[in-house]
Chain A
Amino acid sequence: MAEAHSPLEQFFIHRIVPIDVGGVDVSFTNSALCMVIVVAAVTLLMTQGIRARALVPGRVQSAVEMAYEFVANMVHDNVGHGGKPYFPFIFSLFMFILFANLLGMVPFSFTSTSHIVVTFAMAAVVFVGVTVIGFARHGLGYLKLFVPSGVPVAMLPLLVVIELISYLIRPISLSVRLFANMTAGHTMLKVFAGFVISLGVLGGWAPLAFVVALTGLEILIAFLQAYVFAVLTCIYLNDAVHMHH
């Protein structure tokens, strides 16, 4: 990557296997390759982890159990009793985003979550799913979500519009948060890596140390963003299942 001058070059999508179906470009790209690797890695970890089914878990089984308990607690704390059926979805969402983010931290790899088309697809699924669940559970009563209780009637027209907008903006904020975090973090790493090169052997040590620290921060962010995405999905689900307004 010595010739890469733009810090945004790492986000370019290349076709690996060009496929064209009726004028629509459905090529197998480096982004798709990364997502396949992510799914394969998660599946491998999970199946290998629970293969032994030991009473005293080994290292891999321990990691798998910790991941399971972490998400199970998250779903239980945020959604409560009605959340059990949605646990597999949240768990896959969390593991997919976590592994995609962490895979992006491997040098020369590609971060598929740094593209809004990927994150927006996930956020749109969450949004549509939550809305469908809400209407399926409460019927038209789900619309009461947009009417805050204990508010003077004169204020209602304004507040309903605000609630409606804040509901409709959810998929956008959910997807932009993940995508912007990933893009910004990786761009920042590249910019500081550029400083290392331009300052040379004598002055390059300071930004190099900073890059090392930033890499640690980025790994934290990779985990944190997966957590935030999953928690917000839980919170939206809680709205749909219980309607606390």
Chain B
Amino acid sequence: MDAQAASLIGAGLATIALAGVGVGIGNIFGNLISGGLRNPSAVPKIMGNVFLGFALTEAIALFALLIALLLLFKF
């Protein structure tokens, strides 16, 4: 296979990681909503943790993006 075609396929494959990240971010905010409906007064206290978790999860997507960019522009 042509090296460039392989790198294009690889970059496409790297986006599969988004499935896991979607599940992760959905989990974070879904649990925030279900927990927050049970005890709304606790929500402000955990917002920092929620955004920390969101940012950590989102970073995983960006690692995948990084791999995709490396494959596209470096090979």
Q: List A residues at the B interface (Cβ < 8 Å).
A: 8, 173, 176-177, 180-181, 183-184, 224-225, 227-228, 231
Partner of A177, one of B48, B51, B54, B62: B62
Q: List 28 A-B contacts (CB under 8 A).
A: A8-B73, A173-B59, A176-B59, A176-B62, A177-B55, A177-B56, A177-B59, A177-B62, A180-B59, A180-B62, A180-B65, A181-B58, A181-B59, A181-B62, A183-B69, A184-B62, A224-B51, A224-B54, A224-B55, A225-B55, A227-B48, A227-B51, A227-B55, A228-B51, A228-B52, A228-B56, A231-B48, A231-B52
Main secondary structure of the interface of B (DSSP, over half): helix
Q: A180 CA to B56 CA in the complex, in Å? A: 12
Residues of B within 8 A of A177 (CB): 55-56, 59, 62
Residues of A within 8 A of B69 (CB): 183
Chain B residue total in the interface (Cβ 8 A): 14
Partner of A184, one of B48, B52, B54, B65: B65
Residues of B within 8 A of A225 (CB): 55
Scoring B51, B52, B55, B65 by chain A CB atoms within 10 A of each residue's CB, the highest score goes to: B55
**Is B66 an interface position by the 8 A CB rule?**
yes
User: Which A residue's beta carbon lies closest to that of B66?
Assistant: A180
Q: Type the 1/0 row for B20-48, where 1 means its CB is closer than 8 Å to any CB of A.
A: 00000000000000000000000000001
Q: A8 CA to B65 CA in the complex, in Å? A: 14
Residues of B within 8 A of A176 (CB): 59, 62-63, 66
Q: A184 CA to B64 CA in the complex, in Å? A: 11
Residues of A within 8 A of B58 (CB): 181
Residues of B within 8 A of A231 (CB): 48, 52
User: Which B residue's beta carbon lies closest to that of A6?
Assistant: B73
Residues of A within 8 A of B73 (CB): 8
Looking at the assembled complex, report how far the CB atom of A234 sits from the nearest CB atom of chain B, in whole angstroms: 11
User: Which B residue's beta carbon lies closest to that of A220?
Assistant: B51
